[in-house]
């Protein structure tokens, strides 16, 4: 390779590394205490649902797909109506939706409070209301879409606990809402798994999964639970 080309390539690599560090800095993982108030694991409970919004749903989905006890994590939209729950419309920021992830989990293996801890710690920056990393607008807002009064109570007490402990340099901005969830288009599902080398994913989403493994090793699962199973090879 000519010296000039080699120098140019090195400069590009250095620039990309710097960009990655800068972009991910806004969503750096934070080690936070577990919630003091939580639901209890039950040996007889049916699968439960949690819905979280924290910026682009690709990264949030990827995080929870790697959490032990999560049975399914689907990217989609919450906070608006069914009529305009479409990516090209939600992206305008005026439909009322947030890009969200619908999580089905086994409460005998993981609690709602533990999911909240992961959401606040590694999935996004809860001190930013309508922006995450390079994305901004109400469609990227930090929101917990509660399913019932118990979830609301756990979330409210946990936010108060973290604010009182000054776990972050700013107050938590996450809102609590109740809304219907609509699954996103098929091409948005399992996005990190299907596009691991896409620049946006490499810079903004893959670090979140690595943070999950580092901070929550006890619930980290190496193989993600996928919305669309990998195609089987012929003859297998």
User: pLDDT tens, 127-152?
Assistant: 999 999 999 999 999 999 999 999 99
Assign 234 a pLDDT band (cuts: 50, 70, 90): very low
56 is known as an active-site residue:
yes
- CA atoms within 13 Å, Cβ hemisphere of 230: 9
Question: Residue 26: what pLDDT?
Answer: 52
pLDDT in tens, 104-115: 999 999 999 999
Question: Residue 232: what pLDDT?
Answer: 61
Which CA distances in Å does 235 have to 33, 231, 232? 49, 12, 8
Question: Residue 45: what pLDDT?
Answer: 76
- What is the share, in percent, of the chain residues with pLDDT greater than 70? 86
Residue ranges of domains in the chain, CATH in brackets: 3-215 (3.30.1060.10)
Cα–Cα distance measured from residue 36 to residue 215, given in angstroms and rounded to the nearest whole number: 18
Element (H, E) at 188: none
Catalytic residue among 32, 50, 56, 78: 56
Token pair belonging to 206: 């893959």
Which CA distances in Å does 24 have to 94, 202, 207, 211? 26, 10, 8, 11
Grouping H, G, I as helix, E, B as strand and the rest as coil, residue 67 is strand
Assign 231 a pLDDT band (cuts: 50, 70, 90): low
Question: Is the pLDDT at 167 greater than 50, yes or no?
Answer: yes
Read off the pLDDT of each residue in 187-192 and give the average, rounded to a whole number. Answer: 98
Question: Residue 2: what pLDDT?
Answer: 39
Instruction: For the chain, give the number of residues.
Output: 236
Token pair belonging to 126: 């809860």
**pTM of the model as a whole:** 0.88
CB 132 within 8 Å of CB 55: yes
pLDDT in tens, 82-125: 999 999 999 999 999 999 999 999 999 999 999 999 999 999 99
pLDDT in tens, 1-47: 333 433 433 333 334 444 444 444 456 899 999 999 999 887 777 99
């Amino acid at each position: 390779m000519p010296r000039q080309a080699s120098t140019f390539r090195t400069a590009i690599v250095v620039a990309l590394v710097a960009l990655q560090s800068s972009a991910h800095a806004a969503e750096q993982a934070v080690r936070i205490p577990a919630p003091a108030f939580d639901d209890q694991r039950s040996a007889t409970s049916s699968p439960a649902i949690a819905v979280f919004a924290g910026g682009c749903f690709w990264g949030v989905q990827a995080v929870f797909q790697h959490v032990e006890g999560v049975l399914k994590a689907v990217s989609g939209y919450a906070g608006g109506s069914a009529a305009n729950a479409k990516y090209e419309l939600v992206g305008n920021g005026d439909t009322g939706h947030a890009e969200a992830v619908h999580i089905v989990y086994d409460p005998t293996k993981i609690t709602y409070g533990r999911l909240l801890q992961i959401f606040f710690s590694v999935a996004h920056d809860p001190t930013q209301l309508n922006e995450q990393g390079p994305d901004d607008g109400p469609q990227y807002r930090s929101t917990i879409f509660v399913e019932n009064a118990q979830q609301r109570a756990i979330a409210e007490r946990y936010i108060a606990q973290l604010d009182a402990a000054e776990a972050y340099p700013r107050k938590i901005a996450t809102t609590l809402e109740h809304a219907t969830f609509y699954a996103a288009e098929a091409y948005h599902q399992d996005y990190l798994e299907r596009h691991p080398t896409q620049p946006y994913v490499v810079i903004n989403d893959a670090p979140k999964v690595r943070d999950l493994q580092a901070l929550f090793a006890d619930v980290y699962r190496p193989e993600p639970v996928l919305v669309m199973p990998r195609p089987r090879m012929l003859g297998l």
